[in-house]
Structure formats: structure tokens, C-alpha cells
Structure 1
Amino acid sequence: MARRPGLERGEMTMLQHYYSVTVAILPFLWSGFVQTFWISLVAIVAGSLLGFVIGIVRSQRVPVLHQLFGLYIHILRGTPFLVQLYVFYFVLPNTGIEALQWSSDMAAFVSLSVYTSSYVAEIVMAAIDGIPTGQWEAAASLGLKRIPVLVLVILPQALKLTVPPMSGVYVNIIKNTAILSVIGISELTRQGEITIMRYPRDVLFVYGLIAAIYFVYCYPVLRFTRWAERKVGGTRHIDLD
């Protein structure tokens, strides 16, 4: 059955409308994406470095530090990130300590980095604990001290084990940047909420664009981690023929 010309014109008009909306809001969404990218990048790098150190210390069962870092991790992983963000942005600046009088951007960076470190620390500790004790004993039999054994023998093997779970942590951090809008950070979700005020009838479409941008950002992270897992932790097949 032939399609009615009026229906075709209606579909074209809708497509033109969505196209014009997309063109109008893309600069704002791009600005929010750039903010999301830099905040998540800093949080991932700083949080990974901090978590790496904490994970190593905990794996060595250093007295007092092991318990303190354990409490640190349990508090951060056992409370919502939104609550932690409020503590860093509202509570700590009210202590009167000059070093804690930070801006919303600094509160976002610090809170997200600290939150990231709690997950990375557990992954690193689990990876080190997952190395067979025979590796420690074999290296010690060669006369190596504990720290050289850790650095030269254990950590290279443990890092391979950290690659798969890190992808989930990093994607989770990227998605958690959406919560930063509550303290005025103009990240992607916040910019989307601002544009919805201009186009209240296109709420579903705007949020669909936001979700698509998050997906385009997160998917390469997952693919890169899969690639790194194959390169770093893959099994090498040797042809004996």
C-alpha cells in the first residue's frame, strides 16, 4: 500500500526537528563531555596510583597500616559516593582548615580519586595474594630480600591479574561523574539537564544523546582493556613442530 504524502512530510518534519535540536545542544554536551573526560581521567590516574600503593602495603600485612587502610577501604566501599562527595564539599571545608577550603572542582577531583583508590587497592592486594607462595620461596632461595622479590618477581605477575577487573572500575568511575552535577560541576549530565530546560518536550531524546555519548566514551575503555588483557596476560602458544 502506498504511503500517504502527509505521513512522509510528518516524518521528515520530525527528523528535521531532532536534527535541529541535536545541532543546537551538541556544543553544550561537548563542553560537558570535556569536563567529564578530564575529571574522570584525573580520578583514574590519581586513584590508581594511590590505590596501588595502599594495595601493596596491605598485601604485606604491615602492622597498624594494614588495619588502618582496611578501615579506609571498608568505609569508602561501604558508603554511597554521593555521601562521600557531600563530605568533601560541605563538611570538610567547614572544619576551618585552610588546606580543605577547596572549590567544587577540587572537591570533585579529590572525592572521585579517593573513591577510585578504594577499589584499586583491593584489586592490587587480591592480585598479589593470588601469586603462589612458591614464587616468594623460590626468589628467596636465590638470596633476594623481600622488597626486591616483590618488585622484580611478584608485581610483574600481579599486574597481569589486575587488568580484567580494572575495566569495570574505570567504567564505573566514568559513570559516577554524573553525580558531580549536584555540587555544580558542569559535566555531561549537568549540561544535558540545562539543555532540557530549553527543550522540555524532548527530554527522552536529550537523555538518549547523553547515554550515547557515555557509551561512546566507555566502550573504547572496555575494548582497550580487553586488548591489554590479551597482550599482557594472554597465553603464548609455542609451535613445537
Structure 2
Amino acid sequence: MIHNDNKLPDLPPPKNTTGIIGWAKENLFSSPLNSILTIIAGYLLYISLVPAIEWAFVKADWLGDSREACTSGGACWVFITARLNQFIYGFYPEELYWRVNIVFAMFSVLVAALVIERTPYKGWIASFALIVFPVIAFFLLYGGGFDLKIVETHKWGGLMLTLVLAVVGIVAALPFGILLALGRRSDMPVVKSFCVIFIEIWRGVPLITVLFMASVMLPLFIPEEVSFDKLLRALVGIVMFQSAYMAEVVRGGLQAIPKGQYEAAKALGLNYWKSMGLIILPQALKMMIPGIVNTFIALFKDTSLVLIIGLFDLLAIVQAGLSDPKWLGYSVEGYVFVAFVFWVFCFGMSQYSQALERKLDTGHKS
């Protein structure tokens, strides 16, 4: 019997089944109906996107210091560039911008160091970010120490205030939410009842109402000689509100852990806190990444509600700029700018959460 070992090499797949052409054929033109829908959707995108791109970029005006510089008929981004400092720093004294810039730079470096996978000494960096950095940021932004001039919080505003509210709310809401979730699943009736009542009350009240209560009612429960800053009141309200939502996200993750994991922790002789910290919570938190990040994104967007108690975040400071008689009629540019800034931060959190899911192999890939 003769064996022929001279096999012909495999032929490459047809070009119309690979690359962009293959992807389009499979996803956009896989059937006559899909082809018709693709053509209609493409036409609608064309008639809507082309004028928008022409308005936003082709005919737009970018540089100048007054509305007289907007002469092309497109978007007047001069409104943004001329008032950019106010949109970022609010009413912070211009000669002290360097203090805010240092905080921004430190925050960016710490976030980058924690996000980049190969960064060494991540534990020390995380400890510095959670313990030391808030103290440094407080003294730089507010002052009062090291011969730094005090800048009252009513002068804070713009993107700076939005980030302060969001970062403090996110960092504080997660541990409080975990404690509330553990308390709600506790076998101690008093602890469980307290956590259930706390969660259900705060989840059943709109954030606007919470901010009003924090601004008006909270000072009534503290001594008169104690001055409670308006920004601090807002932070307390936001943290308590988001903690209730975070607690339910964490509770859902804890309930998804098989009972055998709890029994295995007991079999190893671990007490309650060790079993939670070493076995249960690490597994639950991996499963809760989408829900946690979704809550963080909602919190970041909800910071715009502080306008109702007199704090001028990014959206409020842009609205204040639109009321200036010198810039009437450019509300579209202002709101597009705000939407873009919020989208950048929210999209960044979303992408990082997906990368974290893939790294931890949670099994929640789309």
C-alpha cells in the first residue's frame, strides 16, 4: 500500500469571508431584510451625522475671547475656551490654581499607578491613596495649614467640585455599603433591623430630598457652636444615600455565593470576619463588579444635583455662564461640553470595569 506524504498546503479562506468584508456580510448583509435595514440605518446616520460633524468641527470657531470671534456659523467653542478656567476651578482664586493642579496631578498619577497592572508596590500605593492623599488634598484645596491661605468651600466649583463629590462618595460608599450588607444578613436581630431600616429608608427617598435634608435638617442635630460646612453636609447625604444602594448590590453578590463556601470557611476554623475577608467577600466582589461600577457611574452623574443647595458643580457653573448676557445663545455648546466631560469619566470607569472582569475571569463576559 502506497502512502502519499506530500500533502498540498491548506488554501486560505475566501476573501469575502474574512476581514471587514466578511464581518459586514455576516452581521450587516446576512439576509435581504438585514440588508434593507442596514441601508436605511446608514442613510439615517448620514443625514444626521454629517451636519453634526460639519457644525461641531468644520465650521466651528475655537479661539477668541468674546462672541465676536464666532463668525463661521458653526459651533462657537470660543464660549468654552474663554471660560474654561471657571468651568474647571469654579470661583477658586486664580492665583491659587496651582494648588488644585497639584491635587489633579497627584490624583491622576495615583489612578494610573493603580490601574496599570505591572506597577510595583501597589499595596503601598493604595494605602497612600486612601490615607495620606486625602489629607494632602484637603490642606491644598482648603488651606489652613503650612501657611496656606484658606479657600472657603463656597468658592469651590466646576469640574473640581464634581470630582471631589464623586471621589469622596465612591470611596466612602463602598465600605459602608459592605458593612450594611453584612449587617442585613446578620443573625443579630438588632443589627439586622437597623441595617434593613437604614437601607429601605434611604433607598425610598430621592437624592434631591436627601440633599435638602442634609443642608437644612442636619445642622439642627449638632451643637450650635459647631459649624457644619455646606459641602460636608452634601457629602454626608450623598455617602449615606449611595451606601444604601451599594449595600443591595453587595447583598446580591453575597447571596450568589454557594452555601458550601460558607461551610468550607467554618470547616477551616475561621471566624466570621476572617471567613468574610478571606473567602466570601473576594468571590462576591468579583461577581459584583458590573453592579458596583454601575452604582459608581450613577453617583458621578448624580453630583449635578448639588446645585439645588447652592453648590456649583460643572453643570451648574456652565449654566451660570450661559446666563451671562455676553454669551446668550450658546447653550448647545455648553451642554455638549458638559455631556462630553461626563461621558469621558463614565466611559473610562466602564472600560476599566470590563478589563477588571476579564483579568479576574469572573465569567460575566459579554
Task: Flag whether TM exceeds 0.5 (same fold).
Answer: yes
With over 3 angstroms needed to count, the CA separation of the structure-2 counterparts of 1:91 and 1:100, relative to structure 1, is: farther
In the alignment, residue 132 of structure 1 is paired with which amino acid? P
Identity over aligned pairs, percent? 27
Identify which range, 22-31 or 37-46, moves more after superposition: 22-31
Please report the RMSD computed on the Cα atoms of aligned residues, expressed in angstroms: 2.0
Question: 2:203, 2:231 → 1: CA distance?
Answer: 22
Tell me the equivalent position of 1:115.
241
In the alignment, residue 129 of structure 1 is paired with which amino acid? Q
Question: 2:267, 2:219 → 1: CA distance?
Answer: 52
**Which structure carries more relative contact order (alpha carbon 8 Å, separation 6+)?**
1
Deviations 1:62-85 (A, max 9, x none): 311111111111111111000011
What is the number of equivalent residue pairs in this alignment?
225
With over 3 angstroms needed to count, the CA separation of the structure-2 counterparts of 1:64 and 1:233, relative to structure 1, is: farther
* 1:222 has 2:350 as partner: yes
Tell me the equivalent position of 1:24.
82
Tell me the equivalent position of 1:14.
72
* 1:171 has 2:297 as partner: yes
Question: 2:226, 2:162 → 1: CA distance?
Answer: 23
Identify which range, 93-102 or 31-40, moves more after superposition: 93-102
Question: 1:222, 1:138 → 2: CA distance?
Answer: 34
Question: 1:149, 1:87 → 2: CA distance?
Answer: 38
Tell me the equivalent position of 2:204.
78
Larger radius of gyration, structure 1 or 2? Answer: 2
Tell me the equivalent position of 1:183.
309
In the alignment, residue 77 of structure 2 is paired with which amino acid? Y
Instruction: Spell out the pairing of 1:1-241 with structure 2 (5 A cutoff).
Output: 11=59, 13-14=71-72, 18-31=76-89, 32-95=158-221, 97-98=223-224, 101-198=227-324, 199-235=327-363
Question: 2:245, 2:225 → 1: CA distance?
Answer: 26
Identify which range, 50-59 or 12-21, moves more after superposition: 12-21
Q: TM-score, normalised by structure 1?
A: 0.86
Q: More helix per residue: 1 or 2?
A: 1
Structure 2 SS opposite 1:79: coil
In the TM superposition, what is the alpha-carbon distance from 1:164 to its structure 2 partner? 1.1
Q: Which runs of 5+ in 2 are unaligned?
A: 1-58, 61-70, 90-157
Question: 2:238, 2:74 → 1: CA distance?
Answer: 40
Q: Is the 8 A contact 2:88 2:160 kept in 1?
A: yes
With over 3 angstroms needed to count, the CA separation of the structure-2 counterparts of 1:213 and 1:143, relative to structure 1, is: closer
Q: Is the 8 A contact 1:92 1:100 kept in 2?
A: no
In the TM superposition, what is the alpha-carbon distance from 1:232 to its structure 2 partner? 2.3
Q: Which runs of 5+ in 1 are unaligned?
A: 1-10, 236-241
